[in-house]
Structure formats: C-alpha cells, structure tokens
Amino acid sequence: MTQWSPEQFTKAQLAGIEALVGLTGKAFECFQHVTELNLQTMKATLAETQEGLEKVLSVSNPQELLALQMESISPATERALAYRRQFIEILAATRTEFDKVGEVQYTAGKQGLHDFIASVTSKTQAGPAAPLAAWQEALNATTMFYESLHATAKQAAQVAESSFNNVSQAASSGARRRTAQHSQAAAK
C-alpha cells in the first residue's frame, strides 16, 4: 500500500487551512456588506419617517391623511423590495464564492482519491485488483450522482430566485396600482 509522505500530508493541511481562511474572509465580507446595507436602510428609513411625520402634522382633514397614507404605500413597498434584492445579491455573491472554493476542494479531493486508487491498483497483484476496481466503479458512480445533485440544486435555486423576482414585481405593480386607484378616488 502507498503511504502519504510528510510533505503530502503538510500540503493537504495547508490547502485546507488556506480554504478555511479564504472562506472566513468571504463570510466577514458578506457580514460587512449586510451591515452596510442595514445601516443605509436605517438612515433612509429615519429620514423618511421624519419627513412623513412632518407631512402628517401638516394635514388638516381626514381625506388628506388617507391620501398621504396611500401615497406612502407604494414607495415603502418599493424600498422593501429593493432592500430584499440587495440582500439576496450579497448572499448570492457570497454563496458563489463558497461554491467556487467547495468545487476546488471537491475536485482536488476527488483527484487525490482517484490517484490513490490508481496507485494502489497498479501496485497490487492480479487477485486483489478486482475489489479495487469495484471500489473505483463505486467511486465513479458516487461522483456522477453528486455532480447530478449539484446541478439539480443549482437549477432549483435559479427557479426559486426567478419565482421570487416575479412575485416581487407583481407585488410592486399591485401596490402602485392600488395607490393610483386610491389617489384617483381621493381626487373625486
């Protein structure tokens, strides 16, 4: 049987540490972007709340108050949807980076296992090669299954994201339409 040399072991450990450090950096970067998005959203919300309160205090009759409330629904919906889109973009970018690192680690590990099996198979006598060949076939089948699952998961994520975007657009359009209808009704 083949033994790992100390250099190979050290190289594998360093690769794992580098991957972990890279992923930790990406996680902190994601946290920083989400924190910045939240701070921007809070600042904008405070400013809009102050402006809204000033408008409410200047209202002289209930119809104006109702019109003001209807007027604020659509922009609030738009801001919430914009926040969610930006949040999803940050998470998607981070997930993409994690996927890249995971793919590199998976490919390297798979190649190392294939090389190990090939090395063991080439050094064994004819008799024990059959179980190793069966193990190689099982590994190939598992690899194909994993890659199929990975592709299916990517497609499912894309479909879910597309569906959410369609629902968001419909909600935004509905909010604008309701605001327009209430504005027209208030004007009459």
pLDDT in tens, 24-71: 999 999 999 999 999 999 999 999 889 888 888 888 888 888 888 888
Whether the full predicted model's pTM is greater than 0.85, yes or no, is: no
Asked whether residue 102 is domain-assigned, the answer is yes
Asked whether residue 1 is domain-assigned, the answer is no
Asked whether residue 89 is domain-assigned, the answer is yes
Q: What's the confidence (pLDDT) of residue 40?
A: 96
168 CB-near residues (< 8 Å, 6+ apart): 81, 84, 85
**Number of domains into which the chain is organized:** 1
Asked whether residue 106 is domain-assigned, the answer is yes
* Residue numbers of the chain with a pLDDT score lower than 50: 1
Rounded to whole angstroms, the Cα distance separating 174 from 184 reads 15
Q: What's the confidence (pLDDT) of residue 86?
A: 93
CA 112 centroid distance within chain = 29
Q: What's the confidence (pLDDT) of residue 1?
A: 43
The pLDDT mean for the chain works out to 79
Rounded to whole angstroms, the Cα distance separating 187 from 75 reads 20
Number of other CB atoms surrounding residue 55 within 10 Å: 14
DSSP structural state of residue 1: -
CA 44 centroid distance within chain = 25
Rounded to whole angstroms, the Cα distance separating 85 from 97 reads 18
